[in-house]
Amino acid sequence: MRQVNRLFYDLKESHIRRKYTMTHTNTPWMIGIDVKRDTISLSIPHVLFGAEEKRDEIFTEAGLRYIRIGMKGSDKHDTVDRRHVARRIIELAKKSGVKHFAISVSSFEKYIGPLDRMLIEFARANYEHVAHKTEPKDGWDFVEKITLIDDSIEWNEAMISAAILHGGILAQGLGLARDLANAPTNCMSPKGFVSRIIKETQSPDIGVEVIYLNERDLKTEKLEGILSVGKGSVNPPRLLILQYLQGPAEQKPILLVGKGIVYDDGGVNLKQDPTDMHMDKSGAAMVAAAIITAARLKIERNIIALIPLAENRASGHSYRQCDIITIGDKTVEIGNTDAEGRLVLADALVYGRRRWDPDYVITVATLTGAAHIALGGTCSALFVHDRPAGIRLAKGLIEIGEETGDRLWRLPLEKRHAAQIKGKHADLKNIGSLGRYGGAITAAAFLQQFVDEKVNWAHIDMAPRMTPIEGDHLAAGATGEPMCLLVALTEEL
């Protein structure tokens, strides 16, 4: 696999060049950024914002080309609207064949927000999963370079340089998260996922230790949830462990747990339509990319990522309805084999509690269609312990999500919900007693049984934001949410 240098930043005056080398063969969506203070070439379009215009357009006036973004009707106080403005610039440029444009620092401050936020949204909108496509004869339509015009009195050279560096690393992480989520299962089995992460962490500068448990190790550790879900596939399961320990020795770690179901046809309870179920590993993708990105940012924190990887397939070897398995110190009755994500996550939670003493535990998963039905694709569902500390944690995560563009909406999780997952023949059942009603809540209630009440725990059901909705101005496939939120919370918590 050849090395490809795609992301570079030329910083004005100081002539510092920072390069981030990615071991991808297909990253043409990465954007080069340079900064200039003087008048720039008139051959490239300049971005303008039309306060009284609704339409986005490219036009020529007095021999100069402009990209005009219509701002009429946009709410400058709405963080979603502001992010979409940045994406619309890229969307229009790609449609019009513009490879290089200029934008002033003062204008994006007014209409979009902080520089690093703008760069992240530019990269998010420029991204498309093209790893398995043949490049067109005329080349891809990606924007290749953006020139920033340094005309702001609020930003100095050091601030701009830092923002470009920070935004670039996050953009790189988003690309990794989306690549992992989008990869088809024949190219990314549980073993393939592990191999990809090993490649991503090869550089000694990253400082992420990679460990994994194979099928024999899982049996030794008695992780029946992961083993049961993976029984039906020819691709054996794994538990991937990523350790980044750069905080004080006495600091308790943050534990990130991401669901890694590389394909899900439902098992014996076969899905009617398993479209996009290669993306049921999106939680794993976000968690893996988040810890690697935190390492690239040199965040001084102890972080552990646990990623249970399995393929949930119907076969003669699959686990069945009415099976009873043991997870930790609890027995679980299988009510539906398509409620597999909570089983592998519960196993990882038990293993994490056994091995470490985390201060914070965050579970991330495309766990339920019920969350998507409840929230309609606009934000991810958030669950916490129903006590003051949990409510404070939820408030903090929601605020971080507003800043990073990973919006969350808290749903209730009360003690009485636990009664709905009691088993008839075992301690617990992996589906709620009310069937499809409150399915996202009972899934969260199931996970809660494997988390200490004293631990700061949050569960993000990212199913509503796995793929974009109309008006997101994003390519088909993974959105990359909530990767940036996970990185930010490691800095904030």
Three-state SS sequence of 401-425: HHHHCCCEEECCCCHHHHHHHECCC
CATH of span 4-160:
3.40.220.10
Where along the chain do the CATH 3.40.630.10 domains lie?
Answer: 183-492
Q: What does each of the 493 residues of the chain score in pLDDT, given as a tens digit?
A: 222 222 223 322 222 233 333 333 357 888 999 888 765 566 899 999 998 888 999 999 988 899 999 998 887 778 888 899 999 999 999 999 999 999 998 888 888 888 888 999 999 999 999 999 999 999 999 999 999 988 876 777 888 889 999 999 999 999 999 999 999 999 999 999 999 999 999 988 899 999 999 999 999 999 999 999 999 999 999 999 999 999 999 999 999 999 999 999 999 999 999 999 999 999 999 999 999 999 999 999 999 999 999 999 999 999 999 999 999 999 999 999 999 999 999 999 999 999 999 999 999 999 999 999 999 999 999 999 999 999 999 999 999 999 999 999 999 999 999 999 999 999 999 999 998 899 999 999 999 999 999 999 999 999 999 999 999 999 999 999 999 999 999 999 8
| CB-based burial, 180-197: b 16+ in 10 Å, e otherwise | bbbbebeebbbbbbbebb
- H-helix or E-strand spanning residue 242: strand 238-245
pTM of the model: 0.93
In sequence order, what E strands does 249-405 have?
254-258, 260-264, 302-312, 324-327, 330-333, 360-365, 380-384
Nearest to 143 by CA among 176, 86, 83, 97: 97
Place of tokens 């959105």: 479
Under 8 Å between Cβ of 355 and 373: no
Under 8 Å between Cβ of 265 and 314: yes
Question: Which SS3 state, helix, strand or coil, does residue 213 take?
Answer: strand
Tokens of 154: 């609020």
Under 8 Å between Cβ of 257 and 342: no
* Catalytic choice (271, 330, 353, 410): 271
* Catalytic choice (82, 88, 342, 429): 342
Domain 183-492: homologous superfamily in CATH: Zn peptidases (3.40.630.10)
In sequence order, what E strands does 13-140 have?
17-22, 32-36, 46-50, 57-61, 64-70, 100-104
Show Cβ contacts of residue 322 under 8 Å, excluding neighbours closer than 6 positions: 333, 334
72 has catalytic annotation: no
In sequence order, what E strands does 329-466 have?
330-333, 360-365, 380-384, 408-410, 428-429, 456-461
Show Cβ contacts of residue 443 under 8 Å, excluding neighbours closer than 6 positions: 339, 341, 342, 367, 368, 370, 432, 461
Question: What is residue 30's predicted lDDT score, i.e. its pLDDT?
Answer: 85
Q: What is d(CA 384, CA 445) in angstroms, rounded to the nearest whole number?
A: 10
Q: What is d(CA 444, CA 462) in angstroms, rounded to the nearest whole number?
A: 12
219 has catalytic annotation: no
| CB-based burial, 224-259: b 16+ in 10 Å, e otherwise | bbbbbbbbbbebbbbbbbbbbeebeeeeebbbbbbb
Where along the chain do the CATH 3.40.220.10 domains lie?
Answer: 4-160
Q: What is d(CA 488, CA 203) in angstroms, rounded to the nearest whole number?
A: 23
Nearest to 9 by CA among 152, 135, 157, 108: 157
